[in-house]
Copies of this chain bind each other. A is one copy, B any other.
Amino acid sequence: MVEDVVRTLGFLCMGSRLRRIGERLQADTQQIIDEIGLGIQAGQYPFLAAIDRAGPLTVGELAQAVGITQPGATRTTGQLLELGFVDMQPAPDDQRRRLVSLTDKGQELIDYSKISVWPRVAAAVADLCGDLDGPILEQLAAIEDGLAEAPLAQRSPAKEKTR
């Protein structure tokens, strides 16, 4: 068995480490989404959630809300448009801005997700790291160990905790 360098190097590799844990969590989340059978990518949720919370937003506002760059927001918005979850129309007062709003289909997806996917994901993540405390490196180690033991999909509220 080979040493996990990223873990060993601690603060030095914290960027790589956060990133790989984030990727793992998103992949696990995707698995839950697929199990429930929704045709959406985990990374697209924050966009829909932002509009659901704040009402129609422009592409730039979406980028800010989700914390990525504008070209990334443009692309994901295009995908959501393609999938029929959102609608886009120029802002009446400023033709440069494109207002992105939820379609009925998008609103339904969100409403259903709120009762099916989101609670399950949030509970699974909380099960994984909700009770943690202490220095961040220790918590990250605990999270990685936890994920190795049981992925998010096995930490859903439906399944009784056996530990």
Q: Which residues of A contact B (CB under 8 A)?
A: 1-26, 28-29, 42-43, 45-46, 49-50, 53-54, 57, 61, 64-68, 118, 121-122, 125-126, 129-130, 132-136, 139, 143
Contacts and interface: CB of A to CB of B under 8 A. Distances in A.
A12 B53 contact: no
20 contacts: A2-B50, A2-B57, A2-B61, A3-B53, A4-B65, A5-B46, A6-B46, A6-B66, A11-B121, A11-B122, A14-B22, A14-B125, A15-B26, A16-B67, A18-B18, A18-B19, A20-B67, A129-B136, A133-B133, A136-B136
B126 A11 contact: yes
Contacts of A135: 130, 132-133
